[in-house]
Structure 1
Amino acid sequence: MNHIAAIQKALPDAGLDGVLLTCRANRFYAVDFDSTGTDGACLITPDHAWYWTDSRYIEAAGKRITGADVGLTDRAHPYKELFAQVIRDHKIEKLGIDEEAMTLADHDRYAEALPCVLTGASAMMNRLRAVKDEEEVARMMRAQRIAEQAWVELHNDIRPGVTEKFLAARLIFLMLAGGAENVSFDPIVVSGPNGSMPHGVPSEKPLQDGEFVTFDFGALYQGYCSDMTRTVAIGHATDEMQHSYQAVLDAQLAAIGAFKAGTPGCDVHNAAVAVLEERGLAQYFTHGLGHSVGIEIHEAPNANPNNEKPLPEGAVVTAEPGIYIPGAYGIRIEDMVLVRKDGCANLTLAPKQLEIL
């Protein structure tokens, strides 16, 4: 799988003679090869593609990459000279770059060395990556199944006295043992009052009876991420806790029901807000409803109050409303959905009725 042809097809509408991809995610999208983010560059024109990397990855790149000429960069053949040669040979006048990821130092170095005009191409790449093809969705679904199996197995360890940090480490182990090539991000495990921090860091705090615990985690499979969140109660849950949990679940279900290709991201977000407003909890919902997922854990487009643009068919977006009450607890429930013409398909199968463990 690669997306060289899709990028080539997009170049004319973007007004580009070629595009230079230097950030890890865009390079991987183009050629389906990952040099662990430390080295590599891909240059694509309407009729050709090149990928360069150093001696650490050149053998693997040659075996993996199809549809692009694979070349070596070293001290005698630095990137800027390799780029410049292609630009001259193919008479490239306007070259796109992934400016959202490129450092100012790299931009200035290439602007001085390359015989062409550099212009931003991140918007083009974001549009392409927003719409997942069948293979991308299949990889994300496999990543999600790995994460869900880890979640099932983790239930054996969730009990009073076990620390947040232990459970986070256990999640990592279970996902890797279950077939993940990595985690898609460091797991979030926060309990009791720590749960009011949406992206809190797992601590040495032990779980206690009567607390909520939130688990936010994901697996990486063949370069693609999954993302899910579940919140459970330890020992028992008060009526107030149960009502709050049900409010978040109802808000999530309302948002999932609002997903549809062509619907603005803000409308999906507002569907969740409306439910929480009815329950008197909207003031505790402090972030956007969701973000796209793919090669990176946070991609565009988003389902948040600021995104008035329509969501495209084929986007994979999270639905993760939450409430965060300082000094008390937090609750978040997150699924990934595939946006379709007639609604969406939920890629997450894990149960989400309140569990009291």
Structure 2
Amino acid sequence: MKRRIQRLRHLLTAQNIDALLVLNRINYTYLTGFTGTRGYLLVTLDDSTLFTDFRYTEQAASEMDESTVVRELGLDWLDILAAAIKEKGVETLGFEKEHLTYAMYQSLAEKLTPVKLVPLDNPVGSLRVIKDEREIALIREAVALADRAFSYILSVIRPGIRENDIALELEYFMRREGASGKSFDFIVASGTRGAMPHGVASDKIVETGDLITMDFGCIFQGYCSDMTRTVCLGKPSADQEELYSLVAEALKVGTAYLKPGVIAQEVDREVRNYLAAKNKLQYFGHGLGHGLGLEVHEPPRLAPGSGEELLRGMVVTVEPGLYIKGFGGVRIEDVVVCHEHDIEILTQSGRELITL
């Protein structure tokens, strides 16, 4: 945690910022280890202080190391926070512009005069994009949990089961195996519902002949997994097999092109070029992938217009899909980590079309 805060201080110094007020829970957890739902982290160039209320003071002390001081807030919490900022001699205070409400901004500006408030664009997120070895190990465990859940669910799916039941079984399995929760609302889209890329699980009954797309993941010690597999209940038609093979090949194209030093949008472009050559690009309407970590969607984005360079320590998903209204859809998604000279595909589940 000390190293992360020190990296943040270098960033602040480069922008002539005296201190940063961190409001986002994921971000203050990343910097301190504190997982409570209410906290305000003040990071100056010399020290760091977490402000929270009496419900969390003991928890904060137990979860954080001694480099961050815990201060209890009362009912006049904003006055306490503003006074502490002034006491530290802060002249220029940065804040996360995505997470400070206008109402709180107005109150702070009034109480902190003449301190200058400076909006910053995701300052902690820019640090989180590069994962250390411990973070990668936790993501690997979360991905392995999802892999095991996929193996399990294959024995559960049968004609007559509801999509919601499949989602519940997936979540229950991963929680039983050590997950603290699901990383997002699971997508289980069968039959023609598979044409909806974000078709969250419904009460639809799964029928023989359906393609079933399952997009799911869990949280393990704070870190997320995210995977998608499409299976067929019963013998697939020739059109279903063709659609699946195109997506499976698109996944190969994307992961083959992905490596450290490549620009994120170029990976997406490579897959789009492949699908365009197959006259199927019109059925691919989302980005190829996204970063993964403490949140299920993080930078970098593998999408048009994404100019980030892929670097060692970045963890991304690769998830091509084709969606045809009135027919259904196919998506396959893997999690990939960038190492110094190559990549590692963390998702171990097979990519062939499974017939149940």
Q: Bin the TM-score by the shorter chain.
A: over 0.9
Aligned-residue sequence identity (percent) comes to 36
Q: Which residue of 1 aligns with 2:104?
A: 106
Q: Which residue of 1 aligns with 2:197?
A: 198
C-alpha distance in structure 2 between counterparts of 1:157 and 1:343, whole Å: 37
C-alpha distance in structure 1 between counterparts of 2:348 and 2:117, whole Å: 45
C-alpha distance in structure 1 between counterparts of 2:169 and 2:260, whole Å: 37
Q: Which residue of 1 aligns with 2:5?
A: 4
C-alpha distance in structure 2 between counterparts of 1:25 and 1:211, whole Å: 38
Return the letter of the residue paired with 2:11: A
- 2:49·2:68 contact (CA, 8 Å) conserved in 1? yes
Return the letter of the residue paired with 2:312: E
Q: Which residue of 1 aligns with 2:74?
A: 74
Q: Which residue of 2 aligns with 1:124?
A: 123
Deviation digits for residues 111-146 of structure 1 (CA, Å, limit 9, x no counterpart) = 222241111223322211111111111111111111
C-alpha distance in structure 2 between counterparts of 1:225 and 1:102, whole Å: 25
- 2:86·2:112 contact (CA, 8 Å) conserved in 1? no
C-alpha distance in structure 1 between counterparts of 2:122 and 2:56, whole Å: 29
C-alpha distance in structure 1 between counterparts of 2:354 and 2:109, whole Å: 57
- 2:218·2:224 contact (CA, 8 Å) conserved in 1? yes
Return the letter of the residue paired with 1:230: R
Structure 1 unaligned blocks of 5 or more: none
C-alpha distance in structure 1 between counterparts of 2:311 and 2:269, whole Å: 18
- SS for the counterpart of 1:348 is coil
- SS for the counterpart of 1:241 is helix
Return the letter of the residue paired with 2:179: A
What's the TM-score, normalizing by structure 1?
A: 0.95
Return the letter of the residue paired with 1:244: L
C-alpha distance in structure 1 between counterparts of 2:16 and 2:333, whole Å: 39
Return the letter of the residue paired with 2:82: A
Q: Which residue of 2 aligns with 1:207?
A: 206
Q: Which residue of 2 aligns with 1:60?
A: 59
C-alpha distance in structure 1 between counterparts of 2:163 and 2:280, whole Å: 26
C-alpha distance in structure 2 between counterparts of 1:166 and 1:353, whole Å: 24
C-alpha distance in structure 2 between counterparts of 1:347 and 1:148, whole Å: 10
Q: Which residue of 1 aligns with 2:94?
A: 96
Offset of 1:315 from its aligned partner? 1.2
- 2:82·2:108 contact (CA, 8 Å) conserved in 1? no
Q: Which residue of 1 aligns with 2:328?
A: 329
1:21-40 equivalence runs, <5 A:
21-35=22-36, 37=37, 39-40=38-39
- 1:249·1:333 contact (CA, 8 Å) conserved in 2? yes
Q: Which residue of 1 aligns with 2:338?
A: 339
- 1:83·1:114 contact (CA, 8 Å) conserved in 2? no
Q: Which residue of 2 aligns with 1:309?
A: 308
Q: Which residue of 2 aligns with 1:139?
A: 138
C-alpha distance in structure 2 between counterparts of 1:14 and 1:208, whole Å: 58
Structure 1 pair 313–120 and aligned structure 2 pair: CA distance change class (3 A): farther
2:249 is equivalent to residue 250 of structure 1: yes
C-alpha distance in structure 1 between counterparts of 2:225 and 2:180, whole Å: 12
Offset of 1:305 from its aligned partner? 0.8
- SS for the counterpart of 1:209 is coil
- 1:150·1:178 contact (CA, 8 Å) conserved in 2? no
Of the structure 1 ranges 21-30 and 102-111, higher mean CA displacement relative to structure 2 is found in 102-111
Return the letter of the residue paired with 2:73: T
Offset of 1:84 from its aligned partner? 2.2
Offset of 1:278 from its aligned partner? 2.3
Deviation digits for residues 58-112 of structure 1 (CA, Å, limit 9, x no counterpart) = 111111111200111121x51x223323322222111111111222212222122
- SS for the counterpart of 1:345 is strand
- 2:96·2:123 contact (CA, 8 Å) conserved in 1? no
Q: Which residue of 2 aligns with 1:319?
A: 318
1:159-178 equivalence runs, <5 A:
159-178=158-177
C-alpha distance in structure 1 between counterparts of 2:319 and 2:311, whole Å: 19
- SS for the counterpart of 2:123 is helix
Q: Which residue of 2 aligns with 1:45?
A: 44
Deviation digits for residues 207-246 of structure 1 (CA, Å, limit 9, x no counterpart) = 1111110100111011111111111011111122111111
C-alpha distance in structure 2 between counterparts of 1:214 and 1:172, whole Å: 16
Q: How many residues align?
A: 353
Structure 2 unaligned blocks of 5 or more: none
- SS for the counterpart of 2:94 is strand
Return the letter of the residue paired with 1:260: K
Return the letter of the residue paired with 1:12: T
- 2:292·2:298 contact (CA, 8 Å) conserved in 1? yes
C-alpha distance in structure 1 between counterparts of 2:150 and 2:210, whole Å: 19
Q: Which residue of 1 aligns with 2:14?
A: 13
- SS for the counterpart of 2:13 is coil
C-alpha distance in structure 2 between counterparts of 1:60 and 1:8, whole Å: 25
The list of structure 1 runs, each at least 4 consecutive aligned residues, that deviate by more than 3 angstroms after superposition, is: none
C-alpha distance in structure 2 between counterparts of 1:56 and 1:324, whole Å: 48
- 2:213·2:330 contact (CA, 8 Å) conserved in 1? yes
C-alpha distance in structure 2 between counterparts of 1:149 and 1:57, whole Å: 35
